[in-house]
Amino acid sequence: MSTIEEALKKHASTSVEDESESQTAAPVDKKHPSRSASVKQEESPQVHIPLEDLERQGYVSVLGNRCAINEEFRGIKQKVLSNAFGPLSKSLPNANLIMISSATASEGKSFCALNLALSIALEQDKTVLLVDCDVLNPSLDKKMQIKPKQGLIEYLSSEADDVQDIIHLTNLEKLRFITAGRQHHLSSELLASEKMAQLAEEFVSRYPDRLVIMDCPPLLGINETSVLSTLAGQILIVVEEGRSAMANIKTAVSSLDRNKAIGFVLNKSTQPDNSNYGYGYGYSYGR
């Protein structure tokens, strides 16, 4: 984390230190993780996520098992929650809308987006909506082993009339999901459309206790990602240790609004126990 912030210190003036977890995770029934009466269910289609399979693949466990990755994403989650609902939220528009991207492809942004969503879904009094905005190269439905459904593109192209038609309930009670939808020759224009901006506004205002995570395309070479970044209050940039070029990171950050809460997730960092994954994390704020 420190190497990233030092290299980008010209773009930031303040850092946020680690905080202890302030919220209590909701108890989860291992056989029926969706059982709860605390949140009213929307009238939407439901999809089944193989939670045990995800855990075996190294994702955050929602079945009550202690995993190192749970602790790592708990630290990231608490900063996100603090920014979304704490004192900073009063001066940060759309603070509960989080964009996750990377400078270039294949740095682990979708992996981090899904893990953060799973971690937030364990919160007692929050829900999370995960949106696959990477319409050019969607992967979240594959990661969750979900068959293709109508999603974001269908809504933006007016093939789906109601946003509730594309918000899929899952077997994890606090998690909702919107797929990218089918390939479309105007997908770039649809992402940059006024309808997308209006949809983002509905996301953040309809359910004030909800976090919305947008898994977006890489920043470099795709103009629509910069447009999407204007909709979010928080931006997480995933950086793969030993792979991401600092010049690319600087270029990617330079395209962002420096008044946003911009965070860096260091993916696959070296750990003392020689594990294969690890996450460093820090926020920076421009002025």
Buried b (16+ CB within 10 A) or exposed e, 55-72: beeebbbbeeeeeebbeb
Q: Which residues contact 6 (CB under 8 A, 6 or more apart)?
A: none
Q: Is the dihedral of CA 279, 73, 19, 265 positive or negative?
A: positive
What integer is the mean pLDDT of 115-136?
A: 95
Percent of the chain scoring above 90 in pLDDT? 61
Average the pLDDT over each of 24-38, 49-63, 97-111, 135-149 and give the range with the smallest value. 24-38
Please check the confidence at residue 7 and state whether its pLDDT lies above 90: no
Q: Judge whether residue 179 has pLDDT over 50.
A: yes
Side-chain half-sphere exposure of 203, counting CA atoms within 13 A: 30
User: Would the pLDDT of 22 be above 60?
Assistant: no
Contact 216, 100 (CB under 8 A): yes
Closest among 273, 276, 34 to 176, alpha carbons compared: 34
Q: Give the strand order in the sheet containing 279-285.
A: 46-47, 168-170, 175-178, 127-132, 210-215, 97-102, 234-240, 261-267, 279-285
Is 252 in contact with 238 (CB distance < 8 Å)? no
Whether residue 234 has pLDDT greater than 70: yes
Question: What is the predicted pLDDT for the residue at 4?
Answer: 57
| 206 — pLDDT class (breaks 50, 70, 90) | confident
Model confidence at 57: pLDDT above 50: yes
pLDDT higher than 70, residue 257? yes
**pLDDT on residue 8:** 53
CB atoms within 10 A of CB 10: 10
Handedness of CA 74, 77, 79, 84 (dihedral sign): negative
Looking at the predicted structure, is the pLDDT value of residue 157 above 70?
Answer: yes
**pLDDT bucket at 54, cuts 50 / 70 / 90:** very high
- The topology under which CATH files domain 2-8+49-285 is Rossmann fold (3.40.50)
pLDDT at residue 23, rounded to an integer: 41
pLDDT at 47 over 50: yes
- Mean pLDDT over 52-80 rounds to 94
DSSP state of 105: S
Q: Is residue 119 over pLDDT 60?
A: yes
Start-to-end CA distance of the chain, whole Å, equals: 20
pLDDT at 184 over 50: yes
